[in-house]
């Protein structure tokens, strides 16, 4: 099976993983089967775009518009690859 190039890949959360916002802590969380991952900074915004319809390029473009002073193009693709390596994204 061919693995898509990073900019062509359309990431989505793995089936058993859910993105939730914790209002009490005002932070985004990934709920895994036996674990919770606290997402810091804009990580929740990044993961929120991982719906299987947006390519990595689309996600970078969207976030660059939202956060114009951030290094989105250099930070987001490795972040997504790291999440993929963990098995959190497909």
Q: What is the pLDDT along the chain (90 residues), one digit of tens a residue?
A: 444 446 789 999 999 999 999 999 999 999 999 999 999 999 999 999 999 999 999 999 999 999 999 999 999 999 999 999 999 999
pLDDT of residue 42: 93
pLDDT of residue 8: 87
pLDDT of residue 6: 65
Q: Which residues pair with 18 in a beta bridge?
A: 31
Strand, helix or coil for residue 32: strand
pLDDT of residue 7: 72
Q: What is the pTM of this model?
A: 0.89
């Amino acid at each position: 099976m061919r693995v898509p190039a990073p900019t062509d890949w359309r990431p989505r959360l793995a089936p058993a993983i859910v993105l939730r916002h914790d209002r009490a802590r005002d932070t985004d969380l990934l709920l895994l089967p036996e674990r919770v991952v606290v997402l810091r900074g804009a990580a929740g915004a990044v993961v929120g775009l991982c719906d299987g319809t947006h390519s990595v390029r689309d996600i970078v473009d969207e976030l660059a518009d939202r956060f114009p002073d951030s290094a989105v193009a250099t930070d987001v693709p490795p972040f997504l690859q790291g999440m993929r390596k963990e098995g959190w994204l497909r």
